[in-house]
Each structure stands twice: as structure tokens, then as C-alpha cells.
DNA sequence: ATGAAAGCGCTAACAC
DNA sequence: GTGTTAGCGCTTTCAT
């Protein structure tokens, strides 16, 4: 039972001063090799662990990273989107590698943002997921005056550190892929693109494909919904009510999975009756029937990159860039067909 | 720019001592109503936030909860199991409600368990997910000598605080449900039940159903695999190679989703050719074709309960019990059929 | 009802 | 190469 072993105990046992112990621990100052060994041995014997709170007080750095996840408390509990978990596990991994720890905070209600823990705990930097441009959360984060990285946020602020996937390219690729196969009347399905930058970027990408290929932009329909299987399911009605539509490009695999259920129940075949493309490439997208053609992004990687960017900021090392755009790719599976002969 | 406002600043501005300010903040001691008001006003004006590190040093309590998630770094990256995310969001929610913060730690390699952060950061208590009985992790956690709650761990230690679903009852219900419908040759599919208590409990439950209903226990097959869609898919071969099997009870919806894909590709119909039951009731289980009959458990709730139990321990309030078993229920959907006329 | 002061465990400037 | 010491910002005991 080594209760509360402090640097003093180590110093006493090793017969040196606490300053020397501190130097050994931090690799600072000049300490003879012999002393280093003695001190290290004593540390081990005594089962000494440095007290990070004390260190935090001196250094004004807690080695803590705040992860802020805003949940729109609407109907669709975002609980069920595996995307977050992947992101967080990427964040955790890199944090740990650099001796940081991740503190999770889920903000449920935008009206009562409470960022006080950042000051109270001397949080070194924060990673914010899916913030929305021109929103109190963004201002409050920036007002904190500490390093921050925004993921999937599409802030206009050029100075902000941001990480996102190449959503526009993804939207472009998906739409072009469909266009190339003879689909002209495409329904896009996603979250509110006026507010959600990710959705807007994907939408803009799809639109660009229409322009580039000289198709009529009016044939592009946007179904504005929430990102959940349920909403994907419920949007099915609209699609079959608009008989011109031949393909649907869901801006989330989650939506596509819901829609697939609706189609199944109504005896509509994919890809025979409709071509369907998803977005995200979540694991389940490979296991739908038919397996979903989708735009892949890597959430774990996204979390890792965001954390690296943050830590570089915190430690004032060179930061390669303020904005990292992760590549996406199209995974061809079996939910699409060509209309061409 | 209120940089580093301390209790001294507040005391100066309010023209009281720091002790009084401290008393106001903590609601301790006797302070006149008037002073309270003045101090509170000053705190607001100055934008003062108490420094938790300093408080931690005095009180030996950090208001930090460690969440420890062991990942078996095998093939199946557990990244993709939405279960964890639900659990964690439940933990985070209750933590925040009680002014704690959750620090995530994912232990990837059992050989190098590093729990030093618990001592270094004065972590008040830990929640461990899916630990395995008689394993170094468990000993090290218990050696920490701080409050802990084990989730889904099935430790034999009667003194350990534990939370899990009624897995045995779930196994029982699922098997009995199938038995009642004329299925005798049932394949169970799950993780290694010699090591994983959750799987063992579900298995024992299923076995019990066989006993209770006087069926031949030899007709119960256990397919030992890893919990991933891929493994569910790959286990399909074994099932069709054992023609007596008429029903499969997957101890995770994830597995059932994988198996469903195998069946689909091989033109095998569910529930016409096989009855299929899952476990967990993840959101996707409602969106498979056919929708999955499954045993439901509530991961968010599990996280919440575990956190409550932990905080009660930490704050030495009465703890109702050391072991909480959450109820499960059977959700009837469309992946099963009766063999009876 | 309020204040003075000790001390939590550490780092870092400075002295030796 | 090593030791002394002054805080970091707070809580808490003990005076007043």
C-alpha cells in the first residue's frame, strides 16, 4: 500500500533533493548518470506517480484534450451513428500516444453551452465535431483562446484549424457516377444543407457534376431530412411519388439503409428499379442487400488527423496547414445499375 | 481578456478574504447573505472559474471518471460496434449531471496495461467495460483501491460492483422461443464463451431452456467465432454444411447481419429456410430484410446505471446493491418462423 | 461572520 | 551536479 507517495518521499529515500527528482522525471537540468539510476530505482520501488494536478498548476497545462460533440436533440438520437465512435477512438488513440487524455463532452442543448470545464480543468485544446458556421458554439470556442480543431464544421473563418473529408468531391463523384450511367433525375437525400456544411458541400459537389456534364440542374432534387435510418425509410414515399426519379444518392449510409427497407417492403428492387448510392462506407453498408455502392470516408483517420493537428498547435510545433481535407473514394458494390444499353 | 483570474482577485475586488470566497463557492462555512451576493457578483464580473487542479490537490478528488475499454486487437476491430458508443454516451451523460468528467482510455494490448493515469490524475473511480474474469486487468483495477464498476464482466468476485444485462435470461428466452416453435436443432453463434462471460451467460441460458423443455442438449451447437459482421458471414458455410440445423440464434445482431448477407448470396430464405434471432437490438436490426427478431438490451441505460453506481460509491452514499442486472426483452420481428402446423 | 495562514505536490529560477 | 525556495490556486483549521 503505497498511499500518496510524493516527490519528497522519493527524494528522502534516494537521499537527494526534490529538485533532482523532478529533473530526473522530466529529463531537465544536469543530473549525473548515477543519480538518475538511483532515483529511477527509488521511484519504482516506492511506486511513485507524479501528481498531474500539481504539475498542471505550475505549467498551466493539463495534458487534457476536450472533445466536444454537439447533439441536436431532435428526434434522431445521434447515439446510433457509429461514425462518432470511430472518430472518438481515433482521437483517443493519438491522444494517448502523446501523453494526453481525452475528456468527452456531449452538448445536448445548444442553448446552454457550458464550456466552463475548459477553464476549470486547464484543458490544453479542444476538438469540436460538426459545429455549425456562425453559431454561438463556435464563438464560445474561439473565445476560449486555446488551440482548437473543428471537424466537419465548414467554418468560413480562414484562421480556424479544420479537418473534413472532401465532401464536395464525394458529392461530385457520386453524382457523376450516376450521370455516366444514364441517370438524369437523381434524388439527393441528406440533412439540412442550409445549416450543415457537410451536407452543403456534398450537395454542391453533386450540382457541379450536373454543370460539368451539361445536365439540367432542375432534375436534381434534394430531399431534406434528418440523418437516421428512420428518416431514410420515411423518405421512400416521396421517391415513389415522383416517378421520374431513377436514382437516389443518400448523403449517409444510414439513410440508404432505411430507404432500402422501404423499398423492400414495397417490392421495389434495387438496382433494377432504382440505383442507390450511399455515403460514409460504414461497415454495415457492405452487408445490405444489395451491398451498397457508396462514397467512403475514414472516420478513425479523421479523428487521428484532428488530434495530431491539435497537438501540434498545443506544442507550438510547425503546423503544416490549417485545413486538412481527407480524400474520399467511391466503392463500387451492387446497388446501382446503368440505364444505358 | 480575463486571464487567470484567481480566488485572490475575486477576494480583492469583493473586499473580502479568499477564505470567504471559497466558502461562497462551496457553500461551506457561515457567510452573510449580503457577502454571498457581493462575491457572486464579483465572480461573474471577473469571469472567474475555480481551478480544479488546485482543488484536486487539496481534496484528493479530481471529479474525473476513468472509462476503460479493452479492445482485443484481433482481426475484428471493435471500432464498429455501435454498442460502445451508446454505452459511453450514457456514461458521459450521468457524469456530467453530477459534475464529473469522463476520461476515455482504450486498452489495445492486454500485455501493456497502463493504469498510471489513474494515480497521476487522481481519478476518483473507473468504469471497466467487458473485462474478463481472472485476468491481469481485473487485478490491476482492484489493486488501484478506488471505486470501480465493471460492466459486462461477469467477475466471480462477490465484492465487485457490476452491471450487466440479464444475458442468461436473454439466452433462455431466445432459445425457448425457438423451441416453442418446433426448432430443435439450433445453432448458437457468439464469441468465445470460455473467456467472455456475456457469451457464456447467454449460452447457459439457452442450455437451460433445453433442459427445462426436455430437449436433447446435444442438438444445441455453439459456433465459436468473433463478434463482427464478417465472422457472421463466414459462419454461414458451417451452417449450410450441417443440414439438421433449422434455426440460428446469434448472440449479437452484428453476427446476424453478416449471416443474413451469406444467406442472401446463397439464395437461402429467412425465415423460410432458417429462423434467425439476434441479440442486442441495435438500430440496424430493425432494418435488415427481414427485420430481425432479437433480444433487446439497452446500452445507453447500462452506461447510465454503471455511472450512477460508481458515483454513489465515490460519494459514499448508500449503494442499493453491488450488482445490477438490467432486464432484457424479446422483440418479435420477421426473421423467425414456426415449424409447427 | 470573516480572516490569516498552512500546506496539497510539483517546477523552475537561482544559489552553491 | 545538486539543493533551496518561492510560488501555482485552492481548502480548511483556527483565531478573532
User: Per residue in A57-70, pLDDT tens?
Assistant: 999 999 999 999 98
Residue A46 has pLDDT above 90, yes or no: yes
Peptide bond into B290 cis (omega under 30): yes
- B258: nearest CB among A80, A82, A287: A287
**pLDDT, position A213:** 92
pLDDT tens digits for range B104-143: 998 876 567 899 999 999 999 999 999 988 889 999 999 9
B22 touches strand D (CB under 7 A): yes
Using a CB-CB distance cutoff of 8 angstroms, which residues of chain B are in contact with residue A64? 103
Q: Tell me if A116 and B229 make a contact (CB, 8 A cut-off).
A: no
**pLDDT, position B142:** 93
Q: Where residue B336 falls among pLDDT bands split at 50, 70, 90?
A: very high
Query: Of B219, B253, B217, whose CA–CA distance to A284 is shortest?
Result: B253
CB B161 within 8 A of CB B313: yes
**pLDDT, position A113:** 86
- A89: nearest CB among B60, B79, B233: B79
Sign of the CA dihedral A248, A252, A258, A261? Answer: positive
Output the CA–CA distances (angstroms, integers) from residue B246 to A217, A243, B258, B272, B275, in the order listed.
52, 41, 18, 10, 7
Q: Give me the domains of chain A, ranges plus CATH numbers.
A: 1-50 (1.10.260.40), 57-165+302-326 (3.40.50.2300), 167-297 (3.40.50.2300)
In angstroms, rounded to a whole number, what is the distance separating the alpha carbons of residues A320 and B195? 46
Mean pLDDT of A201-206: 98
In angstroms, rounded to a whole number, what is the distance separating the alpha carbons of residues B94 and B97? 5
* Alpha-carbon distance A211 to nearest alpha carbon in chain B (angstroms): 35
CB A24 within 8 A of CB A40: yes
The model's pTM is 0.94
Arithmetic mean of pLDDT over chain A: 92
More confident position, A223 or B3 = A223
Q: Pairing state of beta strands B162-165 and B323-326?
A: parallel
**pLDDT, position A75:** 39
Nearest residue of B to residue A76, measured between CA atoms:
B283
B2 touches strand D (CB under 7 A): no
Work out the burial of residue A135: count CB atoms within 10 Å of its CB; fewer than 13 is exposed, 13-18 middle, 19 or more buried. Answer: middle
Tell me how many degrees the CA angle A234-B270-A287 measures, rounded to the nearest 5: 60
Residues 235-274 of B with CB under 7 A from strand C: none
Q: Where residue A319 falls among pLDDT bands split at 50, 70, 90?
A: confident
A28 touches strand C (CB under 7 A): yes
Q: Pairing state of beta strands A101-107 and B101-107?
A: antiparallel
- B287: nearest CB among A1, A258, A282: A258
Q: Tell me if A101 and B82 make a contact (CB, 8 A cut-off).
A: no
Query: Of B118, B116, B124, whose CA–CA distance to B63 is shortest?
Result: B124
Q: Where residue B30 falls among pLDDT bands split at 50, 70, 90?
A: confident
CB A290 within 8 A of CB A198: no
More confident position, A106 or A101 = A101
B47 touches strand D (CB under 7 A): no
A6 touches strand C (CB under 7 A): yes
* Alpha-carbon distance B218 to nearest alpha carbon in chain A (angstroms): 32
Sign of the CA dihedral B261, B266, B270, B276? Answer: negative
Using a CB-CB distance cutoff of 8 angstroms, which residues of chain A are in contact with residue B79? 85-86, 89, 300
Nearest residue of A to residue B299, measured between CA atoms:
A79
Cell of A300: 478513425
- Return the residue matching grid coordinates 465532401: A167
Q: Tell me if B260 and A86 make a contact (CB, 8 A cut-off).
A: no
**pLDDT, position A112:** 77
Q: Tell me if B101 and A101 make a contact (CB, 8 A cut-off).
A: no
Report how far Cα B204 is from the mean position of its chain's Cα atoms.
Answer: 21
In angstroms, rounded to a whole number, what is the distance separating the alpha carbons of residues B256 and B282? 11
Query: Of B210, B200, B211, whose CA–CA distance to B175 is shortest?
Result: B210
- A119: nearest CB among B49, B121, B233: B49
* Alpha-carbon distance B224 to nearest alpha carbon in chain A (angstroms): 21
Q: Outline where chain A has alpha helix (H).
A: 7-14, 18-26, 33-46, 52-59, 82-97, 116-120, 136-143, 167-180, 197-212, 229-234, 236-241, 253-265, 299-314
Q: Tell me if B120 and A57 make a contact (CB, 8 A cut-off).
A: no
Mean pLDDT of B220-249: 96
Percentage of chain B lying above the pLDDT 70 cut: 95
CB B31 within 8 A of CB B23: yes
Mean pLDDT of B161-178: 98
B96 touches strand D (CB under 7 A): no
B38 touches strand C (CB under 7 A): no
CB B299 within 8 A of CB A80: no
- A120: nearest CB among B49, B282, B287: B49
A36 CA to D2 C1' distance (Å): 12
Nucleotide D1: closest residue by CA–C1': A31
Count of alpha carbons within 13 Å of A106, Cβ hemisphere only? Answer: 23
Task: Map residue A57 onto helix, strand or coil.
Answer: helix
CB B284 within 8 A of CB B261: no
**pLDDT, position B76:** 41
Task: Map residue B12 onto helix, strand or coil.
Answer: helix
Arithmetic mean of pLDDT over chain B: 92
Q: Tell me if A287 and B261 make a contact (CB, 8 A cut-off).
A: yes
CB A228 within 8 A of CB A256: no
In angstroms, rounded to a whole number, what is the distance separating the alpha carbons of residues A103 and B194? 34
Sheet of A162-165, strand order:
A323-326, A162-165, A148-151, A125-129, A64-70, A101-107, B101-107, B64-70, B125-129, B148-151, B162-165, B323-326
Phi/psi for B102 (5° steps) reads: -100, 130
Q: Where residue A109 falls among pLDDT bands split at 50, 70, 90?
A: low
CB-based contacts of A11: which residues, under 8 Å, 6+ apart? Answer: A17, A18, A20, A21
Residue B77 has pLDDT above 60, yes or no: no
Query: Of A70, A77, A87, A148, whose CA–CA distance to A314 is shortest?
Result: A148
A53 touches strand D (CB under 7 A): no
CB B119 within 8 A of CB A52: no
**pLDDT, position B82:** 78
**pLDDT, position A3:** 67
Residue A2 has pLDDT above 50, yes or no: no
pLDDT tens digits for range B198-211: 999 999 999 999 99
In angstroms, rounded to a whole number, what is the distance separating the alpha carbons of residues A26 and A19? 10
B62 touches strand C (CB under 7 A): no
Nucleotide nearest to A11 (CA to C1'): D3
Amino acid at each position: 500500500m503505497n498511499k500518496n507517495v510524493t516527490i519528497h518521499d522519493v527524494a528522502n529515500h534516494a537521499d537527494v533533493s526534490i529538485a533532482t527528482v523532478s529533473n530526473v522525471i522530466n529529463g531537465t537540468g544536469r543530473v549525473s548518470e548515477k543519480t538518475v539510476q538511483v532515483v529511477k530505482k527509488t521511484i519504482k520501488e516506492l511506486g511513485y506517480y507524479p501528481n498531474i494536478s500539481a504539475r498542471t498548476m505550475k505549467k498551466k497545462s493539463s495534458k487534457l484534450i476536450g472533445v466536444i460533440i454537439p447533439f441536436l436533440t431532435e428526434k434522431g438520437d445521434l447515439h446510433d451513428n457509429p461514425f462518432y465512435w470511430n472518430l472518438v477512438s481515433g482521437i483517443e488513440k493519438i491522444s494517448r500516444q502523446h501523453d494526453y487524455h481525452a475528456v468527452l463532452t456531449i452538448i445536448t442543448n445548444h442553448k446552454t453551452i457550458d464550456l466552463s470545464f475548459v477553464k476549470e480543468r486547464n484543458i490544453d485544446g479542444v476538438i469540436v465535431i460538426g459545429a455549425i458556421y456562425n453559431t454561438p458554439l463556435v464563438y464560445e470556442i474561439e473565445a476560449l483562446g486555446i488551440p482548437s480543431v473543428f471537424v466537419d464544421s465548414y467554418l468560413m473563418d480562414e484562421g480556424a484549424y479544420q479537418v473534413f473529408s472532401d465532401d464536395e468531391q464525394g458529392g461530385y463523384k457520386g453524382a457523376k457516377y450516376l450521370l455516366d450511367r444514364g441517370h438524369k433525375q437523381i434524388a439527393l437525400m441528406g440533412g439540412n444543407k442550409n445549416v450543415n456544411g457537410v451536407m452543403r458541400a456534398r450537395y454542391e459537389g453533386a450540382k457541379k457534376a450536373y454543370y460539368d456534364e451539361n445536365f439540367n440542374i432542375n432534375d436534381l432534387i434534394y430531399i431534406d431530412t434528418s440523418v437516421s435510418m428512420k428518416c431514410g425509410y420515411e423518405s421512400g414515399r416521396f421517391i415513389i411519388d415522383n416517378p421520374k426519379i431513377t436514382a437516389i444518392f443518400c448523403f449517409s449510409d444510414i439513410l440508404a439503409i432505411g430507404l432500402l427497407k422501404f423499398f423492400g417492403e414495397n417490392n421495389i428492387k434495387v438496382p433494377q428499379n432504382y440505383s442507390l448510392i450511399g455515403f460514409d462506407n460504414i461497415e454495415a453498408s457492405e452487408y445490405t442487400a444489395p451491398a451498397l455502392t457508396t462514397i467512403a470516408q475514414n472516420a478513425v483517420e479523421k479523428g487521428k488527423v484532428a488530434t495530431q493537428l491539435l497537438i501540434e498547435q498545443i506544442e507550438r510545433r510547425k503546423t503544416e496547414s490549417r485545413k486538412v481535407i481527407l480524400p474520399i473514394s467511391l466503392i463500387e458494390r451492387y446497388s446501382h445499375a446503368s440505364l444505358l444499353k
